[in-house]
Amino acid sequence: MTSIKAVLIIRVTDHQLLFSKSYNQKKIDQDFQIILDHMSQINPRAEERVTLKTANGIWRYKLDNNKIAYVLLAIENYPDRQIYAMIQEIETELQKKPNYVDSQPNDIQKYAKTWMKQLHEKYDNLAGVDKVYAAQQQVDEVKIVMEENINNMIQNSSKLDNLDEKAITLKNESIKLKKSSTELAKIMYWRNMKLKILFGLIILAGLLYIIVPIVINVSR
């Protein structure tokens, strides 16, 4: 996406559009008369920086001492200082042309073709011309990385919390299992004891069944 959306050079005295470069010519056609009307209403002084908001975006412009207006349309967050720096370079380059004030649109269009393209490419790369913006971009990138790291830490922390909960659950289950095992061992112990006693009584009864008749016979 281009940062500089449109560049216009206008001769205010006769409302002549001397130069235009835009990614969308329709937007220039829509806003050209609005810009002219705005200039007529406020009658800006030479070198005065002016801002005009339309449906297509925010235009910035200024006039030189010869009533030539340099008008730019950029993306919404493009810094004013860089817009007017580009305007200043356009003004400097244009004033190198003899009698530029009285030139015809075709002449200006041909004259500006090469250096305007270079300026457009230069200022379209905002990070390359604005150290503050470049630094802010780096800060934003670091901020994004830090936010991702924090989110990952939070997610990992949630996973650890889940592991802690599972560990506590397993511990409680193991305690219950141990308790159940102890109770089962006691039950089995007493069951075995009862069986042993029962077997002992059966054996004793069998012995008595055999011994008692013998003793009785001997006594007779």
Q: Look at residue 42 and tell me if it is in a domain.
A: yes
Q: What pTM did the predictor assign?
A: 0.60
Q: What is the mean pLDDT of each run of 10 residues along the chain (220 residues)?
A: 89 95 82 94 95 93 96 91 94 95 94 92 79 52 67 69 77 80 80 83 84 77
The enclosing domain of 107 has a CATH number of: 3.30.450.50
Q: Specify the pLDDT at position 131.
A: 54
Q: Residue 93's domain spans which residues?
A: 4-126
What are the phi and psi torsion angles at 75 (to 5°)? -65, 160
Q: What's the pLDDT score for residue 132?
A: 47
What beta strand segments (E) does the chain contain?
4-11, 16-22, 50-54, 57-63, 68-74
pLDDT the model gives residue 107? 94
Tell me if 84 sits within 8 A of 90, measured CB to CB. Answer: no
- Asked whether residue 146 is domain-assigned, the answer is no
Number of domains, the chain: 1
Distance CA 21, CA 94 (A): 15
The amino acid at residue 35 is I
Q: What is the pLDDT of residue 161?
A: 65
The token pair that represents 3 in the structure block? 């940062």
Q: Give domain status of residue 64, yes or no.
A: yes
Identify whether the C-beta of residue 10 lies closer than 8 Å to the C-beta of residue 35: yes
